[in-house]
Structure 1
């Protein structure tokens, strides 16, 4: 399937129409289909009206119930995959206001319990000092105070004991000098402090030894239901269970090369001291 960002928003309505047409051609009612797929009639109705983007598993169940196969089934599954993928470009997010983006992230975090963050090139806002947060959005025009406040407010979720967090930073992400040396030393010290929160597992992948992996993007996995992948111009939101599982697998491979606990604190402590010496 060719990836066309401008088509992603249309895919849900195309899928809804295709599912509705398949059912009617098969001569089945929504009630019959719901019963044979172990779903509610309301869910079938929401899928066919485009109010709900069904999971790939749901689409496969419906296709089996309707005995639909061949090219038609392939096309419907392709639409379902697109409907489970969302593209958010940076320009649209900035036009709407980055504070609204922070609200969306807060809602997503509130609804999730298990988080995996792979940080390739920068420290994420949940781990950042106020100075680092301000530097990370320095290129955004207008009043940034709301965005900074909301980013810092979101950090309180790290102390919610009902949730678990695993953060993997590359050495590059941890040491990239986004701030002057003094600010970077404080940021690294803050990482060491956060690593002691009981439900937070914070690791770093040192640039030493042999690492046969080749990460391309920063990404986050929320439970087993959603993954976000950051690019230079936006972010992909993936809900297809195969995509989410693939990023969970990637995370596990990267995790095998990371150091945690006292070893983590020793490394970031050494890097903090290096930045401190640069101030002098």
Structure 2
């Protein structure tokens, strides 16, 4: 267990966050309990974050910034903290997401992480392993801050109709997830198309994949298997999957028809969960 007196701010972004939180708290003349009272958290939680035993949330960071007048330091650091907690094999993908000017994603059976609701993400991540589930969910959802940036990547997602039908979690979770997809309907930088079952045999039968496009660098293809990711800039492979993506877009429903199908599935299959 890390002790506060020997916390090394250079050990990790999480340790650095704890070090800075402690430094600013002490400069303000506050105990952990006093700061916790101001932030509406327990002093114990403040202590756990200061000693790198607990992940800070975005909300905690923003409240601490305001209370300690840090100029937004902790809110900026929390993005690095969350990224550092991703599985090692996935961290390169998180970097690609941030750098890309355009992301093209094809998903065969579930909603991809950048579009997941908290409940859906929790159900996906907890399907086999429920340890540290809240922290792992928070880390996944933190990637979605990408879309809050003024110039975030243009994002195209093609979802197989199976992703709308496969019941992840329960009916209420699915209703909320599909409703969330519909919130992007009028956003020209986040585009969602559905590949219907009626498309039959299609160019994505081999599996899900993502393409990351950049202003001045080669396009990166990313595929994934159990516990590992496989990015590649091999020109022939990228060219092949780019062509596949073009064919998938041609076979998919239009943006409007996709939204209409998402709404129908939400209402017809999960509609009883409406409040």
Using the size of structure 2 for normalisation, the TM-score is 0.61
Q: Deviations over 1:27-50 (max 9, x none)?
A: xxxxxxxxxxxxxxxxxxxxxxxx
1:181 aligned to which of 171, 178, 186:
171
| Rounded Cα–Cα distance in structure 1 between residues aligned with 2:87 and 2:225 | 20
Question: Could you tell which deviates more after superposition, 111-120 or 257-266?
Answer: 257-266
**Any idea what SS the aligned residue of 1:179 has?**
coil
1:227 aligned to which of 218, 221, 225:
221
Q: Does 1:258 align with 2:252?
A: yes
| Rounded Cα–Cα distance in structure 2 between residues aligned with 1:99 and 1:237 | 15
Partner of 1:120: 108
Partner of 2:155: 165
| Rounded Cα–Cα distance in structure 2 between residues aligned with 1:226 and 1:147 | 26
**Any idea what SS the aligned residue of 1:256 has?**
helix
Answer with 1 or 2: which has the greater Rg: 1
CA contact (8 A) 1:102 1:147 kept: no
Q: Deviations over 1:172-216 (max 9, x none)?
A: 022211121111011111111123222111100111255454512
The number of aligned residues is 185
Using the size of structure 1 for normalisation, the TM-score is 0.60
Mapping of residues 99-248 of structure 1, within 5 Å:
100=88, 103-138=91-126, 139-160=128-149, 161-208=151-198, 210-213=200-203, 215-223=205-213, 224-232=218-226, 234-248=228-242
| Residues 258/246 of structure 1: CA separation in 2 closer, same or farther (3 Å cut) | same
| Rounded Cα–Cα distance in structure 2 between residues aligned with 1:214 and 1:128 | 21
> Structure 2: any 5+ residue segments left out of the alignment?
1-83
Shift of 1:150: 2.0
